[in-house]
Amino acid sequence: MRIAVVTLPLHTNYGGLLQAFALKNVLEGMGHSVTVLDLKDKMPAPKGIKAPFKYMGRMLRRLVKGSEGPEVFKELRYRRELPVLATYTSSFVDRYISPRLIGSYKDVREGEYDAFIVGSDQVWRPLYFRGIEDAFLKFTRGWDVLRIAYAASFGTDKLEYEYTQLEECSRLLADFDAVSVREDAAVGMCEEWLDHDGAVHVLDPVMLPDADIFRSFASSQEKHPAEGRIMTYILDPSDEKKHVVEFMERVSGLGTYDSSVWPYVAGRPLSERVVPPVEQWLAAFADCEIVVTDSFHGCVLSVLMHKRFVAVGNSRRGMSRLNSFLSMFGLEQRLVHGIDPEDDGSFLLSDIDWERVDAVLQQQREKSLGFIKDSLKDKE
């Protein structure tokens, strides 16, 4: 079957790249022809009659908040810097995902594909997916194709849709043949926000293949400096997270290796903000002793590679995905929001019952793969 995958733009986000790679890998393993659609313009600038008001709003907030306010013309800087920042991640994308670059979803023509799969990642978050209606396959309206959502995520439990978007997306979702979501809470959100019941809770695509596929990427690298140390991977730094890292250093007696990358934070030379290769990032997980992260996919890889880990709450990017993931595997106590002065760190340093975790993973993997196979049966 000819399948097109609709996901977030592929650029420098490690988790976003791995989930696209993993979903394509699994679908191809089932014998399908898979094309991942990727927009040429990763961060389009505001357009139309609303554009001047958006820029004016940014200017006003910048005047009020100073350097903490929004960057007025961030899309222009992003467009200029991305080819350099994504030097290594683009190589991974070209080699292992080979997406079809499109100017917009209107470039996709009827008859090119038999099925469209939306997902995974935060594809149903308007803040991240510009033109959210296309994440519900508006551009395929009237076509005779299968419409499937796999592990789609709202990213947050706070409603970010405008009323008109909700109405339109609800109508579009009614045409889907199968719907699955990445977080257990998103099942209820589909019902409450989009009037759609029957959504299925499934695994993130990164958890579908055997972990050996990611270890093979890691083994292609030389011995990583994170070996035997605490690997930190922090998306949104804060004093609280810094204290958690310092606490883990103190109670474990281990040094740290920071794999965090903040490529879009201005102030450093462009050459110092180039995102390291995906393979190098995976090698840090494979070689380290403990992981401290506020990243969803950081937690996913810790589980896949059997690493003790500490998940630091990240409300900015949405807590529902971390809560859902950890509760699935009975690892809720790995989540911290700060450090208790009375805590000696013994639990966070304790071993994880990987046999129990792997049993849950295998059960959930069978359920998730079964969802994909059953959803694609109608066109076979």
CATH number of 260's domain: 3.40.50
% of the chain beyond a pLDDT of 90: 72
More confident residue, 160 or 63: 160
What is the distance between the alpha carbons of residues 249 and 230, in angstroms, rounded to a whole number? Answer: 8
| Band of residue 266 on the pLDDT scale cut at 50, 70, 90 | confident
| Band of residue 123 on the pLDDT scale cut at 50, 70, 90 | very high
153 and 34 fall within a common domain: yes
pLDDT score, position 56: 77
Of the candidates 323, 326, 322, 287, the one whose C-alpha atom is nearest the C-alpha of residue 307 is 287
What is the extent of the structural domain holding 233? 219-349
340 and 263 fall within a common domain: yes
Q: Considering its fold, how many domains does the chain have in total?
A: 2
Q: What mean pLDDT comes out for the span 289-307?
A: 96
Residues 6+ apart with CB under 8 A from 34: 3, 4, 5, 24, 27, 28
In a domain, 356, yes or no: no
Indicate whether 98 pLDDT > 60. yes
What is the distance between the alpha carbons of residues 333 and 244, in angstroms, rounded to a whole number? Answer: 14
pLDDT score, position 338: 82
What is the distance between the alpha carbons of residues 379 and 133, in angstroms, rounded to a whole number? Answer: 24
| C-beta of residue 194 within 8 angstroms of C-beta of residue 170 | yes
255 and 123 fall within a common domain: no
- Whose structure tokens read 């979903």? 23
196 and 234 fall within a common domain: no
In a domain, 258, yes or no: yes
110 and 155 fall within a common domain: yes
- Copy the structure tokens of residue 87: 């030097």
Indicate whether 12 pLDDT > 80. yes
